[in-house]
A and B are shown apart, each in its own frame.
Chain A
Amino acid sequence: MARVIVDVMLKPEILDAQGQAIARALPRLGFSGVSAVRQGKRFEVELDGPADEAALSDIRKMAETLLANTVIEDYRVTVEE
């Protein structure tokens, strides 16, 4: 049983209007010193078996085809210890 995390973020060159709105809201709430915020998605994928190379290869395929739109987003796969 393993849990694999897929983090999906907009590519750096893509304008993140939602992240900007969050960054603008922070000073109003009294938080200072934040220069930028970017918003992304986190997927927690529970596996029936271990997070071996075959399973990770499948998860990368999932990320490529569904979890991320690679036209605008990058993804990162990590195994949760």
Chain B
Amino acid sequence: MSAARVGVVTFPGTLDDQDAARAVRHAGGEAVPLWHADPDLKGVDAVFLPGGFSYGDYLRCGAISRFAPLMEELIPAARAGLPVLGTCNGFQILCEAHLLPGALMRNAGLHYVCRDQGIRVENTATPWTSDFTEGQEIVLPVKHGEGRYVADPATLAAIEAGGQVVFRYTGGNPNGSLNDIAGIRNEAGNIVGLMPHPEHAVEDLTGAPSTDGRAFFTSILKKLVNT
């Protein structure tokens, strides 16, 4: 049996693609590099949009990346059910692409925040979170200046009612996100975005605050192997 293939996208200015690819391999998958300018998903089974400052965050974080040639392929594939995970800048891109509701704005405290962050897993009905248990408390690194999740009251009420809030900050909200939201999913559940960084928390060796990030990658690989 060949390993499940998870695409890892690199835009100009992406920072975390190497860690993301390493995390995929660590969990036993094959990491397939995808290039922003190449409109080819290379037949991958899932896609990871890593963090960084794609296109320099010009205009708004993720606003330019959304129109990259690769995204022209990725957006319809994601709408059709391809599992997609976006962390940090990847989450911002998913919101700008309207694959996820709401938007991410400058942290309420205006400062860039880099710290180990408590997070509660609120929803395990996604291909990226099935290896967690609902209500599980985990710790992941956060590092961002624009991570304050906002949505209009109707959208916020709908995602809360629909179980689309996947992660919530605990022990202090780092950025002023509405309802302490750290991550959300789309209605179907195949697309998940979060500000914290699971790909930086898979190995003790790197000084990560935990290895809680591993479950993201074991979740998706189990899902891909079993379908």
Contact = CB atoms under 8 A, between A and B. Distances in A.
A18 B103 contact: no
Nearest to B66: A66
Contact of B96 (A18, A67, A69): A69
B181 to A, nearest CB: 14
A66 B67 contact: yes
Given A69-B96, A71-B151, A15 B60 contact: no
21 contacts: A14-B150, A15-B105, A15-B148, A15-B150, A15-B176, A17-B106, A17-B107, A17-B148, A17-B176, A18-B106, A18-B110, A21-B110, A66-B63, A66-B67, A67-B59, A69-B60, A69-B96, A69-B103, A71-B98, A71-B151, A72-B150
A69 B96 CA distance: 7
Interface of A: 13-15, 17-18, 21, 66-67, 69, 71-72
Interface in B45-60: 59-60
Contacts of A14: 105, 150
A29 B110 CA distance: 20
B152 interface: yes
A63 to B, nearest CB: 12
B176 A69 contact: no
Contacts of A18: 106, 110
A13 to B, nearest CB: 7
Nearest to A11: B152
A15 to B, nearest CB: 7
B91 to A, nearest CB: 14
A72 B59 contact: no
B197 to A, nearest CB: 23
A34 B217 CA distance: 51
Given A15-B176, A66-B59, A72-B105, 19 more contacts: A14-B150, A15-B150, A17-B105, A17-B106, A17-B107, A17-B108, A17-B148, A17-B176, A18-B106, A18-B110, A66-B63, A67-B59, A69-B60, A69-B96, A71-B95, A71-B98, A71-B101, A71-B103, A72-B103
B209 interface: no
Interface string B31-49: 0000000000000000000
A71 B63 CA distance: 12
B118 interface: no
B102 A71 contact: yes
Interface centre among A66, A67, A69, by most chain B C-beta atoms within 10 angstroms, is A69
B64 to A, nearest CB: 8
Contacts of A66: 59, 63, 67
A20 to B, nearest CB: 9
A13 B152 contact: yes
Interface in B39-94: 59-60, 63, 67
Contacts of A67: 59
